[in-house]
Structure 1
């Protein structure tokens, strides 16, 4: 038997808020699903192309406040975009992306129409860390161009990729941005201390960024790489500049994350730094 959702509010022809017998408050999205329907009526749950939960009054209020500021064309377009992202990523998205990404792209389109552009200082790092999300975000920007007739700047690919990454990992966008800023700070320190300019397009730069990202994750999960006393002594003697720089980066990481960092991280970071130093 198909479950019925009692309509609480029809937002427009294609979006309505209802009460599901199990999931409680839900948003149903589908072409014409709200057409000619009224509060209190029921609609089959499987009529929706896409559904998502409203987790609490705060999220409901955010969604209700956002929609009146959006054109119907944007709402319909974003419904298609979110279904497309979920299909391309091959997994369900955290429900909050429906509000956050809709809000972001709607305002990005408005800014672009007024020739107001934001740069994205973390573009290389985002592409390196979240390659699939970045590719899907690029496709979304192409969709904006083709369907909405608006060209978004390249920096928006990075911002959209972060929203996608947040939705597939359940990580808060705030924490993701914090980690990206920390990685960018590391890059600044490395370039300053080694007196070089890192080529963002190289495999070695990509490896460094990936390593720093994994190191931050290991710190959060309290993971250890294990003791390597002989290797530590060798690297300290052979590559003192990179070894000391690695320690400096670890101290910064420790301070910014406010968590202890396994000393073995220094060793593997030294190897990455020495490789970059040799090639520069």
Structure 2
């Protein structure tokens, strides 16, 4: 048995849980007629989650004050579906972050405002599974609410999903996506070209940059590649010099050392990408 602390709406209550201190319980009609101190049989709750951080608890409580109950129910279904899709528990903050984000995104769309996302392609390439899950979520929202969630918004949903799956801060993930976009722009400016975002070599570059940033953040450095560095310096001097400039940018943004071996991989990716683009033109 759990004891009601606060009824948030007819379907959601904050309760005292024997194992988790405070928990958010969700179930159809669960809070109807309940008062603080009343007991609820745990099996009557369709789902429960724990917001351990006091600030997050307050954010969720205030969120329920302005978000429709039907929208909360829809979001809870989608979050449960995401956990089934990825066969993994999501960081509970997604109940606050994604619900709040999507609620206001839907309101903007209903008022006729567009949504721009300059990092959409980089997000799709860096997190393909999360992006596909976001596409499917958007399709269900379209049917349920009679709207059309645009591609740009799907990119933002993907980042929320990735953040909840990896327990990484959303702001940090956004910074990494922006960093990748900046590095690609530096390559385009250096060679005065516009890279085809559908090109396979571009896909490989973005995925490499994403993994490289994660390795640097985790200080999981690549093996020494000094012999190959000298070969590439002689064979592809322009790409080689550019790779070092990109590494300096990464180092400044991440405030962590980028290993010399990264110059090998970056040089090869840049050379493949640029030679392919120049062949097409």
| Range of TM-score over shorter length | over 0.9
Name 1:27's counterpart in structure 2: 24
Deviation at 1:43, TM superposition (A): 1.1
Deviations along 1:63-109, one digit per CA (max 9) or x if unpaired, are: 11111111122112111111111111211100000001110111011
Deviation at 1:218, TM superposition (A): 1.4
1:156 to 153, 156, 161: 153
Structure 1 runs of 4+ off > 4 angstroms? none
Name 1:135's counterpart in structure 2: 132
Deviations along 1:26-70, one digit per CA (max 9) or x if unpaired, are: 001122222232221111223222211121321111111111111
Residue segments in structure 1 that go unaligned for 5+ positions in a row: none
Deviation at 1:153, TM superposition (A): 1.5
2:191 to 191, 194, 202: 194
Write the distance in 1 (CA, Å) between the matches of 2:152 and 2:253. Answer: 26
Write the distance in 1 (CA, Å) between the matches of 2:211 and 2:110. Answer: 39
Name 1:7's counterpart in structure 2: 4
Aligned residues: 277
Q: Which moved more, 1:270-279 or 1:53-62?
A: 53-62
Name 2:240's counterpart in structure 1: 243
Q: Is 1:77 the counterpart of 2:78 in the alignment?
A: no
Q: Is 1:263 the counterpart of 2:273 in the alignment?
A: no
Write the distance in 2 (CA, Å) between the matches of 1:57 and 1:220. Answer: 28
Residue segments in structure 2 that go unaligned for 5+ positions in a row: none
Write the distance in 2 (CA, Å) between the matches of 1:7 and 1:171. Answer: 32
For residue 17 of structure 1, give the secondary structure of its aligned residue in structure 2.
strand
Write the distance in 1 (CA, Å) between the matches of 2:6 and 2:42. Answer: 15
TM-score normalised by length of structure 1: 0.96
Write the distance in 1 (CA, Å) between the matches of 2:211 and 2:9. Answer: 44
What CA RMSD, in Å, does the superposition of the two structures yield over aligned residues? 1.1
Write the distance in 1 (CA, Å) between the matches of 2:130 and 2:239. Answer: 32
2:213 to 211, 216, 226: 216
